[in-house]
Amino acid sequence: MQVTRILAVRHGETAWNRDTRIQGHTDIDLNDQGRLQARRLALALRDESLAAIYASDLSRARATAQAVADLQGQAVQTHPGLRERRFGRFEGLTWAEIEAQHPEEALAWRKRHPEFAPPGGESLLQLRERIVSTVQALASRHAGEQVMIVAHGGVLDILYRASTRLDLQAPRTWELPNTAVNRLLWSPEGLSLVGWADTTHLQDAGLDEQSA
């Protein structure tokens, strides 16, 4: 049975990341630090064999993927199914503002109730269904190959849980750094985890000299 190797990457940093504002489907671009992270990621992956590069259609993910695609001589294929969780009226607010303005909803969110959805947003159950089905559809096109998927923190969280068979309510003990490289395998039996949160390239200032 041939498997599909997946490089799953969270987009580079945005101003709202730095301000701890909830982004969701709000289309926020990379900040200067995020663009630097994307360039370092691209240089670190330049020798990887990638059959396809997929990204969320939100600009922060698309721009991160484009940095890699430019060095690979490929096009970025966008897919709305890779978007971040939709947070409805939480979008644009910080966690402190959500707690102050919507305390009951904030508590349900903190406890990770699978059925809870912010008004106008998605539940964790809906998010998991969307992400797992999207990734399965994309990965199934590339048996025996390696692909890259650039998405968002909530998406990567779902992929970690799916690949390790962890419940949606299990406390998170893993990190989701911007532009960290996460390696997964997909087969018709599901996802499995190979490596997580490799940020070696973010500490390598020599990559900046190469990009110059």
Say which CATH number the domain at 46 has: 3.40.50.1240
Q: What is the pLDDT of residue 100?
A: 95
pLDDT tens across 80-90, in order?
A: 999 999 999 99
pLDDT tens across 11-41, in order?
A: 999 999 999 999 999 999 999 999 999 999 9
Range of the domain at 66: 4-211
Q: What is the pLDDT of residue 207?
A: 66
Q: Check 11, 25, 152, 201 and give the catalytic one.
A: 11
Q: Check 13, 25, 84, 122 and give the catalytic one.
A: 84
> Which regions of the chain are under pLDDT 70?
1, 204-212
Q: What is the pLDDT of residue 113?
A: 95
Q: For residues 38 and 10, is the Cβ–Cβ distance under 8 A?
A: no
- Give CA torsion, residues 29, 176, 18, 147, to 10 deg: -20
Q: What is the pLDDT of residue 206?
A: 66
Q: What is the pLDDT of residue 208?
A: 67
User: Domain count of the chain?
Assistant: 1
Burial class (CB in 10 A: 0-12, 13-18, 19+), 94: middle
Name the residue among 54, 22, 29 with its Cα closest to residue 122: 22
Catalytic (active site) residue 97: no
Q: What is the pLDDT of residue 210?
A: 62
Q: What is the pLDDT of residue 209?
A: 54
Q: What is the pLDDT of residue 75?
A: 98
Catalytic (active site) residue 84: yes
pTM, whole model, 2 decimals? 0.94
